[in-house]
Amino acid sequence: MGIGGCIILIAVGAIVTFATDWHMKGVNLDLVGVIMMAVGAIGLATYVSIFKRRRMPPTADGDVPPVVEERYTERRF
């Protein structure tokens, strides 16, 4: 589930919780909406933390070799 799925889950949960007045026997729709929003928020936080970890620059442990700049000079004979 990506960022879009998490945001949709949060939005649908908010709609079910705050914008509906349905009553079902044996099902508390307010609780279902809150659970959907919580799952969407947890999924979003997890996705962002994983994405952040992938984008972090390498550490100073030498994970990436140093950049070597080469300069070419014109030789005149």
**In Å, how far from its chain's centre is CA 49?**
7
Instruction: Classify 11 as helix, strand or coil.
Output: helix
pLDDT, mean of residues 69-75: 74
* Full-model pTM: 0.64
Task: Give yes or no for residue 64 having a pLDDT over 60.
Answer: yes
**Are the C-beta atoms of residues 33 and 18 closer than 8 Å to each other?**
yes
Total residue length of the chain: 77
pLDDT tens-place string over residues 9-53: 999 999 999 998 888 899 999 999 999 999 999 999 998 888 776
Task: Give yes or no for residue 72 having a pLDDT over 80.
Answer: no
